[in-house]
Chain A
């Protein structure tokens, strides 16, 4: 096709002998949305970098609007209208919305002086173009994740944009925010702007895409019109195997009540929360962002102190607002944002697991038996099949799925009774996700009570026996997960 906006042919890239991209080719037409799917390590990040000019391909042809390109650099790519919105958005938290939007445009024009009026006008125009209203003067650090993403989109649009590449656009968004994003994408397409979604969580953007390309181990394994793909087919191509979403094993009627929560109340966040959790049960808590699901999770583990209410574990009252007491009582909590709340990123993988057990290995005269702690940690890493060549490496070096397993391993080593998982597979690729789900099922089979807090509905339905729907801080429904479909659940969440 000569009228294609971007043409890739036989693009190959190797890093020190490892082939990251192997003979990949596809085209993107103006006004078209393309889905580039692949697990972590499939080569999709490399492809973004090559298109953005950050890395150069070893072999292959790249053409913009039919014109062959030599070696690219970031400035050439940007001049050709290729804009990448990175997963972290690359915004300036301390600067205003207006400045963030206009910054690259001003630099691109080689401006020396800073004209506040011009910057504001440009920002206002761009926001209007996507039909969004965000105050121009506020600092970006005060915005929500969804708004930050919109600012990043506007920054890409502020200069001539022909292709917007979005890296993992939906991982941090709730369903409703994804809707808003999709509407904006439709507007952009109508304007003739092409969009390349790069993600491992793509089912939800399929509806606005014309074309799907799937990468696995650096090779293109599937390509075709979007209507030929659904979540299951995508997953099969991405992983190379069937990852079946089997519902959990039914709970025996005799399962004893493990945890009893009654009248839990936190002013302004959640009110009058009562439920029971039985041994071996996986309980889902779902709700939109701001529904109080995270506050509830934190309250159960004592990170937030409720105003009133009781939490009983095995009939014994757990003190409120005290995470140490909660952990001692046998409650474990895996936070949503494992990077800032769950892991010591620069410390070794082993240390990250062993730290949960220091008290158990520190009994002898207050001295730490590091050897025992480390060998126990090693054992747990093996049992949860954390893939690493070197357990002494910093935990930061692991993929999202493996990081999540490290957090899990830390709690498992403490043999908890109840494990609370907040967003267990956020930022985790499809293959690891199903393995984490298998781990959850395994935990429940051992008689643990598991609480899964998530707005990923397929995840809730494959892992949970029962789902509590939260809205405005209250539990509005208690649903048997086996009897409900995904669309029905989505409807109940949003209505």
Chain B
């Protein structure tokens, strides 16, 4: 198989590889199960968010409200379960989170699909509204005692063990949910007409309308799906952190979109792969978790991520431009 050097995926994979080699050279302990599980753990919530952000980007939109949806959902779910349904099992909590998230997503969907408002404006607005409503009317205090279902879920480990040097490692069961989200999304995007219509709308909304695609219905679905994924991620986040902090998550949205763009999705719509998105998330998590290993202060994180974005999106764009100039 030949390697396509113009693809973002290749570039990101190379950068990840280089990063790992550097880290391993400066700290031989880097290549351990503990590092791997740390990275996978860091990618659980980010990964679900990234899948959601990617679908919106493919459709030609942009959603910045998903973190607010997640925060709102985890806080409200924890509160309702504590007050009314303490007996609901963990899967019930996840389902409820998805339902609340889907409702909030439907709100975005109505404004975007039926009123035809620009996606960035709508989601900037709803991000602010969801967060504001939660903090003003619902509460600002952390919920430190989670409902039993979520506590139980928080303790579910896939793997747990001890390294030779005495350090512990573990991988949370929620990792499987992230994997499942990726698989389901892949099936939707590549094996259903609905998914192909999402790509088509991202390629040209007007053309999609002309050949009889129900653009409104597809957009409405997208924002509901994204809301459900965000709600899911919110519950997972709170369960793993063992606290529902209403100030968590918000602010993460741009890093997530950055990871997706790094993986090759285009802001103009129509392009995006799950492989690229996963690699993008991996790189961002790697930078967040491991710059310290390289002896670089953590404040440099955002500088490093910024540089990666410029490099990761700029290089292919520059190559494409050169190719176009040669062809002309």
Contact = CB atoms under 8 A, between A and B. Distances in A.
Partners in one complex: yes
A91 B193 contact: no
A103 B194 CA distance: 12
A139 to B, nearest CB: 9
B229 to A, nearest CB: 21
A435 B191 CA distance: 54
A15 interface: no
Interface string B197-240: 10110111011101111000000000000000000000000000
B194 to A, nearest CB: 7
Nearest to B197: A107
A155 B207 CA distance: 12
B203 A94 contact: yes
Nearest to B206: A90
Contacts of A94: 199, 202-203, 269-271
Contacts of A93: 203-204, 270
A107 B211 contact: yes
Contact of B199 (A78, A92, A155): A92
Contacts of B212: 74-75, 78, 104, 107-108
Interface in A244-262: none
B154 interface: no
B200 to A, nearest CB: 5
Contacts, number: 65
Contact of B203 (A86, A95, A294): A95
B328 interface: yes
B211 to A, nearest CB: 4
A295 B190 CA distance: 41
Contacts of A107: 193, 197, 211-213
Nearest to A90: B207
Interface string A141-179: 000000000000001000000000000000000000000
B136 interface: no
Interface in A88-104: 90-95, 99, 103-104
Contacts of B190: 114
Contact of A114 (B193, B202, B206): B193
Contacts of A367: none
Given A78-B212, A91-B204, A94-B203, A103 B196 contact: yes
Contacts of A268: 326
B195 interface: yes
A90 B200 CA distance: 11
A269 B328 CA distance: 8
B199 A95 contact: yes
Given A74-B212, A103-B196, A104-B212, A92 B270 contact: yes
A108 B196 CA distance: 14
A117 to B, nearest CB: 12
B196 A99 contact: yes
Nearest to B207: A90
B210 A86 contact: yes
A363 interface: no
Contacts of A103: 196, 200, 211
Interface string B270-294: 1100000000000000000000000
A93 B199 CA distance: 10
A92 B203 contact: yes
Contacts of B271: 94
B192 interface: yes
A18 interface: no
B183 to A, nearest CB: 16
Given A75-B212, A93-B204, A112 B194 contact: yes
A113 B191 contact: yes
> What's the interface size class on A, roughly?
20 to 34
A365 interface: no
A90 B196 contact: no
**Interface hub of A99, A103, A108 (most chain B Cβ within 10 A):** A103
B192 A113 contact: yes
Contacts of B196: 95, 99, 103, 106, 114
**Interface hub of B194, B196, B326 (most chain A Cβ within 10 A):** B196
A494 interface: no
A93 B205 CA distance: 11
A1 interface: no
Contacts of A113: 191-193
A93 B204 CA distance: 8
A310 B196 CA distance: 52
Nearest to A268: B326
Interface in A287-306: 294-295
B204 A295 contact: no
A92 B191 contact: no
A93 B207 CA distance: 10
Interface in B66-91: none
Contacts of B207: 90-92
A207 B188 CA distance: 48
A268 B269 CA distance: 33
A111 B193 contact: yes
B24 to A, nearest CB: 38
Contacts of B199: 92, 94-95
Interface in B172-198: 190-197
Contacts of B270: 92-95
Contacts of A269: 328
Contacts of B326: 268
Given A95-B199, A95-B200, A90 B211 contact: yes
Given A74-B212, A107-B213, A92 B204 contact: yes
B73 to A, nearest CB: 29
A350 to B, nearest CB: 28
A295 B271 CA distance: 31
B193 A112 contact: yes
Contacts of B204: 90-93
B203 A114 contact: no
B210 A90 contact: yes
B265 to A, nearest CB: 11
**Interface hub of A74, A90, A104, A155 (most chain B Cβ within 10 A):** A90
A400 B191 CA distance: 43
A114 B191 contact: yes
A136 to B, nearest CB: 15
Given A92-B200, A107-B212, A114-B191, 18 more contacts: A74-B210, A91-B204, A91-B207, A92-B199, A93-B270, A94-B203, A94-B270, A94-B271, A95-B270, A103-B211, A107-B197, A107-B213, A112-B193, A114-B190, A114-B195, A155-B211, A269-B328, A295-B328
Would you list the 6 A-B pairs with minimal beta carbon distance, nearest first? A94-B270, A92-B203, A90-B207, A94-B203, A104-B211, A90-B210
Interface of A: 74-75, 78, 86, 90-95, 99, 103-104, 106-108, 111-114, 155, 268-269, 294-295
16 contacts: A75-B212, A86-B210, A90-B210, A91-B207, A92-B199, A92-B203, A94-B199, A94-B271, A95-B199, A103-B196, A106-B196, A107-B211, A107-B212, A114-B191, A114-B192, A268-B326
